[in-house]
Amino acid sequence: MAIRANRPSVQALQPSLIRKLSNTAIGRSDVIPLWFGEPDKPTPQFIRQAAKDALDEGQTYYQPNLGIIELRRALAAYMNGLYEADLCAGNIAVTPSGMTALAIALQCIVAEGDAVVIPSPVWPNLPAAAEILGAETVRVPLRPRCGRWRLDLAELFAACKKHTSALLINSPNNPTGWMLDDAEQQLILDFCRERDLWLIADEVYSRIVYDRVYAPSFIDKVTEDDKYLIVNSFSKSWAMTGWRLGWLTAPKSLIESLEIVSEFNFSCIFAPVQIAGITALQDGEAFIRASTARYRAVLEAVKSAFNELPRVTFPAPQAAFYAFFAVDGVADSYAFAEQVLRECGVGLAPGAAFGPQGEGYLRLCFAADAPLLERALEQMRPLLS
């Protein structure tokens, strides 16, 4: 007899299609893996060294639920330096990953039967984190228009009904690279204020942006009276995916709830990881700029390769490191990604993994060296032509 989870909301969750596909290639060293969303290079040495030193000093004890105060102060200083913001450590909760930040943010505000409105396609973990709590998720489509992804704000607002408790917005977006501009963010915030809705903003890709230094953020628009939670992470900007370190920015009065919820989810984060985070914030700016410059160059190469393929439609991303493209005639993205894997030896994420709005698309992570990407594009050319 198969033993299953008891909670209906857990039973209803679907496994990730990206994992499902990549599991079929375990042990195949010939595959060029462009399906996962992470920088190809390891964490910079100076960040690794900070963690090693802390470990050698014996920093192996429990830590405060909200994170060590030096890291919370460093995060406030980092954001105040980047944005027109006036944050302090009291606005910050450090979390073991952006994913956990998202999960505990939703635990604080979403109740069973609430609706959460989410622009989509989107990284599947966002809707899943709400659904696991028994919330209904309502997806509002991002659509390509004039070569770029757009969100129709009237459509977003119309999707918010009586039982909607929150807007959950991932900008810059995984997988499309779409991002809100400042004026759109202001309109969304005004709408949330007017309708007394929570705003949860996932800004994990805020530093990987191609025509400016940082993406428009809700951080410089919210006040202490707004019902907001902003999710961020060290994973992408500082190439720290495996470390599991993220943070939430929230009104000071909400931090006490986050502290309690943190205690009962993970209690605290390993001190050497947090100390590595402080070093990343203080000395990591050059690394962010260099890696973004590298991704920008590779993006240009992907654009020109796709330009030569008339079957491929590629609305260019403004941020993040994904090419989300459609291939004329492809209706089943999972079956096509399987075919690309089998015939071309390239691992892509099927667009359907990001919701029904992603069907027909494929996601390629271009955080990779140019020669490897050129090889992948060359190997895929016959199938994409």
Ligand X SMILES: Cc1ncc(COP(=O)(O)O)c(C=O)c1O
174 part of the interface to ligand X, by CB under 6 A: yes
Residue placing its CB nearer to ligand X in the complex, 17 or 99: 99
Pairing mode, strands 228-233 and 246-249: antiparallel
What tokens does 59 get? 């920093």
Cβ contacts of 295 within 8 Å, gap of 6 or more: 208, 210, 321, 366, 367
C-alpha–C-alpha distance, residues 295 and 64, integer Å: 36
Q: Which is nearer to ligand X, 119 or 141 (CB)?
A: 119
Does residue number 359 form part of the binding site for ligand X (CB under 6 A)?
no
Q: Which of 246, 350, 355, 360 binds ligand X (CB under 6 A)?
A: 246
**Sheet harboring 312-313: ordered strands across?**
312-313, 322-327, 361-365, 349-350
Contact between 139 and 149 under an 8 Å Cβ cutoff? The reply is no
- Choice from 66, 99, 118, 288 touching ligand X (CB under 6 A): 99
Residues 106-135 interacting with ligand X (rule: CB under 6 A): 123
Q: Does 204 bind ligand X (CB under 6 A)?
A: yes
CA distances from 240 to 76, 129, 154, 276, 331 (A): 19, 22, 37, 10, 35
Binding residue for ligand X, selected from 39, 44, 67, 98, defined by CB under 6 A: 98
Residue from the set 22, 97, 120, 291 that interacts with ligand X by CB under 6 A = 97
Q: Taking the complex as a whole, how short is the minimal distance between the CB of residue 102 and ligand X, in angstroms?
A: 6
Residue 241 beta carbon to ligand X: minimum distance, rounded to whole angstroms: 5
Contact with ligand X (CB under 6 A) among 233, 249, 291, 357: 233
- Establish if 176 lies at the interface with ligand X (CB under 6 A): no
CB 215 to ligand X: min, Å: 12
What DSSP assignment string belongs to 153-209? Answer: HHHHHHT--TTEEEEEEESSPTTT-----HHHHHHHHHHHHHHT-EEEEE-TTTT-B
Nearest CB to ligand X, comparing residues 245 and 298:
245
Least Cα distance to 162 among 131, 127, 117 occurs for 117
357 counts as binding ligand X under rule CB under 6 A: no
Nearest of 279, 221, 289 to residue 75 by alpha carbon:
279
Nearer to ligand X, 124 or 272 (CB): 124
Q: How far is the CB of 353 from ligand X (least distance, A)?
A: 12
The nearer residue to ligand X, 98 or 360, going by C-beta atoms, is: 98
Q: Using an 8 Å Cβ cutoff, are 203 and 231 in contact?
A: yes
Q: Least Å distance between CB 19 and ligand X?
A: 12
Nearer to ligand X, 201 or 312 (CB): 201
DSSP string covering 139-151, please?
Answer: EEEEEEETTEEEE
Question: Could you tell me which of 96, 102, 93 has the C-alpha nearest to residue 242?
Answer: 96
206 binds ligand X (CB under 6 A): no
The SS3 of residue 120 is strand
Return the SS3 of 214: coil
**Do residues 218 and 201 lie in contact, with contact meaning Cβ atoms separated by under 8 Å?**
yes
From residue 19 to residue 58, the character string flagging contacts with ligand X as x (rule: CB under 6 A) and all else as - is ------------------x---------------------
CB of 173 to ligand X, least distance (A): 7
Among 241, 291, 318, 333, binds ligand X (CB under 6 A): 241
Q: Does 170 bind ligand X (CB under 6 A)?
A: yes
For ligand X, the binding residues (CB under 6 A) are: 37, 97-99, 123, 170, 174, 202, 204, 233, 235, 241, 246
